[in-house]
Chain A
Amino acid sequence: MSSHIFTTRLKCLFRDRATVFWTMAFPIILALLFNATLRNIDKMADGFQPVDIAVVDNEMYENDSSFREALNAASDGENRIFSLTEASEEEAADLLRGGRISGYFTDGDLVSVTVGSSGFEASLMQTFADSYMQMHYASSDILEADPQSYETLMTAVKEKTGYLRDVSISDAEPDSAYSYFYALLAMACLYAGFWGLREAEDIQADLSVRAARVNIAPVKKGKAFFSSMAASFVLSMSEILLLFLFLRFVLGIDFGVRTNLVLLVTLAGCLLGLSGGAFIGAVVRGSENLKTGVMLGLTMTGCMLAGMMYQGIKIQIDRNAPALRWINPVNLLTDAYYNIYYLPALDRFWIDMAILGGFIAVFSIGTYLKIRRQKYASL
């Protein structure tokens, strides 16, 4: 009997095209939109490209070999910071007005920098010019005090000592765009609540005609409910796994190498969505629209606070209202995916999982207590 209910219910759920759209197609459409616009945002917003600049090729510049050498060194090789064009003052001004360069240097008693607007490019040019002048000043200062130190000074100037050592926090790239996709997957997990909500509606005889029909059937209520929930679980888990595979292999979103843990989080997310939806369906009194509204409202608020629309909110909450991060299921799921991908240690991951487990237990027990042994005097 259980398998019969399971199979029939699965067919029934699969034919609910509106819910299939929201739980499967909608997250995939959002993923495509995220991918089109957010995927390379770090590179587009802060990716380093050599800055296009010009230098005014005047007499001073011709005679100032040290500035020329410094500028050529900064504009040469793989790690160059500038792409340099030599031009007359008029040409340089034209290039700047046309937006083809970020600014130009003019050599003189003081090196001057002319830029179109403030910004990193302008600051980088200013830093370069300042540093050149400061080295020049320091050299004069040292030689003035001790002319004999010329050779040692030249050695120190030409030495390319690296005073900075790269320290890595993680083996993974800190690609912040991934967190949008993690939040999206978390949202899809909670959208399994649509199915849970429907199960709760379809088992309480005072809420739907279908539930009244199920209640008069010679099947134990518990058996009917758990078989139906199993069908909902299979369908929603399949949808979420499909989304995960789409993100991982079609869009190339990196979830790290600990795939078994990713699947564990996804399973927990699916159970959380289902149990949460069923809990809302059982506890909230009112129309189906109201319950859907409550579920969607909670899910989308959770998504917003977890940084799906605006990433800064998540870190602000982590810093200023840390309690909120532990009670927002979307944040717990997003954080768990992030932990697996980026953090070497898994301490926080297991805390996330334990709280998620607590939520699932509370929702499941609450739903069970609410719908068990209910009798109806009149339907």
Chain B
Amino acid sequence: MQVFKLCGKVMRQNRLPILIYITVFIMLSLIMTAAASKDQTYQYTAEKTEIAFLTEENTPLVEGMKAALSENAAFMDIEDTPAVLADALYYREVSYIIRVPAGFTDAFMKGEDPQLGCTSVPGSFSGTYISEKLQLWLQTASMYVKTGAVTDADTLADRMNDVMSETASVAITDSGTKSVSDYSFLSYYFKYLAYILTAILISILAVLMQVFNDRDLRRRTFCSPITAYSYNGQFLLAGMAFSAGLWIVMMVCGAAFTGKTFFQESTLLYALNSLAYTMMAAALGFLIGTLTTSREQVGALANVCSLGFSFLGGIFIPQAYMGKGVLAAAHFTPAYWYVKANDALAAAKNLSSADITAVRNSILVLLCFGAAFLAIGLAAEKRRREFSEA
């Protein structure tokens, strides 16, 4: 087991950079997980839209309008300056800005048709939704004014309060799935784990191979009475041991960060899915280590693969928000299958309603990817050895 032991020795000698690398990525994973699980920017399934309500007058009518909107809107406290409002709309701190001009109530009560200033993201769902709500409320209020049923703003506000108590009954059929905004911290942790595993395993395993790929060292190794079969076997065993160790560390971190929620039935499926991904990433690390000749090349490929998989596979951006063409291309990345299974587990309200097929497919596809990477890596390694021995 000389090769296996040597791998361990190289790892031990580089333990400090490896530890720093793993710690940095775990921290990065936590920041992203925490941000994504709280962020509503790309989770428009929330029922309330953030709006800025700016008013140049405070009247019962305006208060009534605001109260009616509060069912569907969260009012954000934004400074009323053009640059701050523009920033807030551009960066989606608010999706809608309403400005009530001075004299609006007086004009409205006279039966005139004053207008509110509205700014929204053109063509947005949230904009259409708030506009619809506001327009219908004002139209209903105007019925009282234009028929002469109400002549003062106080009474109108009271009547509109009564009107607003009339609501339709709403039934939600249990589809067994949660909306994206209800996805748990645990599901985001496992989602970002794919990025972390790809980046760490490619970087460390491929760099480890660079040590063995030194021409003189290789020649010395192959002079020794060790078969290529044994050499590769021991090397793969070392890679698997490191990958398994890393996976266990990530599971322990997951348990530490998520607490009791980690210990639920679905965690087993999340974990199995991530274990299959770990094996795939380790095989990819082996392949890249075989194909590259310098640490710079490894660094470049590790970044391109980890970021490429993460963007295209749906780790950073939800798959639901990707175009059809991109999604079609994403099928060729292992991360797509991993995230699909992860999302299926995240959306399930309980294990019995979880889409087990998606998890099973993901594990099979990831193992196939891993086998393919390993086969190409071994073939390339054999070719290189024959070439260097010649």
Q: Are B311 and A163 in contact (CB under 8 A)?
A: no
Q: Are B115 and A163 in contact (CB under 8 A)?
A: yes
Q: Nearest Cβ distance between residue A181 and chain B, in whole angstroms?
A: 13
Q: Are B163 and A141 in contact (CB under 8 A)?
A: yes
CB interface residues, B 70-95, toward A, < 8 Å: 72, 82-83, 85-93, 95
Q: Which residues of A contact B135 (CB under 8 A)?
A: 162-164
Q: Provided the pairs A40-B323, A141-B163 are in contact, do residues A96 and B86 lie with their beta carbons within 8 angstroms?
A: no
- A211 at the binding interface (Cβ < 8 Å): no
CB interface residues, B 110-144, toward A, < 8 Å: 113-129, 131-140, 142-144
Q: Are B166 and A163 in contact (CB under 8 A)?
A: no
Q: Are B129 and A123 in contact (CB under 8 A)?
A: yes
Q: Are A169 and B119 in contact (CB under 8 A)?
A: yes
- A323 at the binding interface (Cβ < 8 Å): no
Q: Which residues of B contact A112 (CB under 8 A)?
A: 168-171
- A34 at the binding interface (Cβ < 8 Å): yes
Q: Which of B125, B138, B147, B172 contacts A116 (CB under 8 A)? A: B172
Q: Are A156 and B123 in contact (CB under 8 A)?
A: no
Task: Identify 13 new A-B residue pairs, CB closer than 8 A, beyond the known A42-B121, A156-B143, A315-B88.
Answer: A22-B300, A37-B316, A37-B326, A116-B175, A117-B177, A124-B129, A137-B166, A138-B159, A142-B147, A152-B147, A157-B143, A163-B142, A167-B119
Q: Are B119 and A168 in contact (CB under 8 A)?
A: yes
Against A, the Cβ 8 Å flags (1 = close, 0 = not) of B331-363 are: 000000000000000000000000000000000
Q: Provided the pairs A33-B307, A126-B170 are in contact, do residues A120 and B129 lie with their beta carbons within 8 angstroms?
A: yes
Interface residues of B (CB under 8 A from A): 32, 35-36, 39, 41-42, 44-47, 72, 82-83, 85-93, 95, 97, 99, 113-129, 131-140, 142-144, 146-149, 159, 162-164, 166-173, 175, 177-179, 294, 296, 300, 303-304, 307-308, 311-312, 316-317, 320-323, 326, 329
Q: Are B143 and A138 in contact (CB under 8 A)?
A: yes
Q: Are A169 and B320 in contact (CB under 8 A)?
A: no
Q: Which residues of A contact B326 (CB under 8 A)?
A: 36-37
CB interface residues, A 334-378, toward B, < 8 Å: 338, 342-343, 345, 347-348
Q: Nearest Cβ distance between residue A227 and chain B, in whole angstroms?
A: 27
Q: Nearest Cβ distance between residue A90 and chain B, in whole angstroms?
A: 13
- Assembled-state Cα–Cα distance A96/B162 (Å): 33
Q: Which residues of B contact A131 (CB under 8 A)?
A: 132-133, 136-137, 140
Residue of chain A at shortest CB distance from B42: A45
- A127 at the binding interface (Cβ < 8 Å): yes
Q: Are B45 and A179 in contact (CB under 8 A)?
A: no
Q: Which residues of B contact A126 (CB under 8 A)?
A: 167-168, 170
Interface band, chain A: 35 or more
- Assembled-state Cα–Cα distance A44/B170 (Å): 27
- Assembled-state Cα–Cα distance A41/B300 (Å): 27
CB interface residues, A 157-201, toward B, < 8 Å: 157, 159, 161-170, 173-174, 176, 179
- A218 at the binding interface (Cβ < 8 Å): no
- Assembled-state Cα–Cα distance A99/B294 (Å): 51
Residue of chain B at shortest CB distance from A342: B90
Q: Are A179 and B322 in contact (CB under 8 A)?
A: no
Q: Which residues of A contact B119 (CB under 8 A)?
A: 166-169
Q: Which residues of A contact B162 (CB under 8 A)?
A: 137, 141
Q: Are B83 and A348 in contact (CB under 8 A)?
A: yes
Q: Are A169 and B308 in contact (CB under 8 A)?
A: no
21 A-B pairs, CB-CB below 8 angstroms? A26-B300, A41-B42, A45-B321, A96-B173, A118-B172, A119-B47, A120-B126, A127-B136, A136-B166, A138-B143, A142-B143, A142-B144, A146-B147, A155-B146, A163-B139, A165-B116, A176-B91, A309-B32, A312-B41, A313-B35, A347-B83
Against B, the Cβ 8 Å flags (1 = close, 0 = not) of A296-328 are: 000000000001011111110010000000000
Q: Which residues of A contact B128 (CB under 8 A)?
A: 48, 81, 124
Query: Closest 9 interchain pairs by CB?
Result: A129-B168, A131-B136, A44-B321, A18-B296, A165-B115, A33-B311, A163-B138, A167-B117, A149-B147
> Among A115, A127, A137, A162, which residue has the most Cβ atoms of chain B within 10 A?
A127
Interface residues of A (CB under 8 A from B): 18, 21-22, 25-26, 29-30, 33-34, 36-38, 40-49, 81, 93, 96-97, 110-120, 122-124, 126-139, 141-142, 145-146, 149, 152-153, 155-157, 159, 161-170, 173-174, 176, 179, 307, 309-315, 318, 338, 342-343, 345, 347-348
Q: Are B322 and A44 in contact (CB under 8 A)?
A: yes
- Assembled-state Cα–Cα distance A179/B86 (Å): 14
Q: Which of B159, B168, B329 contacts A130 (CB under 8 A)? A: B168
Q: Nearest Cβ distance between residue A43 and chain B, in whole angstroms?
A: 7
- Assembled-state Cα–Cα distance A348/B84 (Å): 11
Q: Are A110 and B169 in contact (CB under 8 A)?
A: yes
- Assembled-state Cα–Cα distance A123/B303 (Å): 42
Q: Which residues of A contact B171 (CB under 8 A)?
A: 112-115
Interface of A is mostly: helix
Q: Are A127 and B149 in contact (CB under 8 A)?
A: no
Q: Are B91 and A179 in contact (CB under 8 A)?
A: yes
Q: Which of A43, A139, A162 contacts B123 (CB under 8 A)? A: A43
Q: Are B42 and A176 in contact (CB under 8 A)?
A: no
Q: Which of B46, B114, B126, B167 contacts A163 (CB under 8 A)? A: B114
Q: Which of B95, B129, B140, B178 contacts A134 (CB under 8 A)? A: B140
> Among B88, B163, B170, B316, which residue has the most Cβ atoms of chain A within 10 A?
B170
Q: Are B143 and A318 in contact (CB under 8 A)?
A: no
Residue of chain A at shortest CB distance from B147: A149
Q: Which of B32, B44, B87, B122 contacts A315 (CB under 8 A)? A: B87
Q: Which residues of A contact B164 (CB under 8 A)?
A: 134
Q: Are B139 and A135 in contact (CB under 8 A)?
A: yes
Q: Are A122 and B117 in contact (CB under 8 A)?
A: no
Q: Which residues of A contact B149 (CB under 8 A)?
A: 141-142, 145-146, 149
Q: Are B82 and A169 in contact (CB under 8 A)?
A: yes
- Assembled-state Cα–Cα distance A97/B173 (Å): 9
Q: Are B113 and A161 in contact (CB under 8 A)?
A: yes
Q: Which residues of B contact A164 (CB under 8 A)?
A: 115-116, 118, 131, 134-135
Residue of chain A at shortest CB distance from B171: A114
Q: Provided the pairs A33-B307, A112-B170 are in contact, do residues A81 and B123 lie with their beta carbons within 8 angstroms?
A: no
Q: Are B32 and A124 in contact (CB under 8 A)?
A: no
Q: Which residues of A contact B170 (CB under 8 A)?
A: 112-115, 122, 126
Q: Are B129 and A127 in contact (CB under 8 A)?
A: yes
Q: Are B134 and A163 in contact (CB under 8 A)?
A: yes
- Assembled-state Cα–Cα distance A49/B124 (Å): 9
Q: Which residues of A contact B138 (CB under 8 A)?
A: 163
Residue of chain A at shortest CB distance from B86: A169
Q: Which residues of B contact A307 (CB under 8 A)?
A: 91
- Assembled-state Cα–Cα distance A126/B36 (Å): 28
- Assembled-state Cα–Cα distance A36/B56 (Å): 44
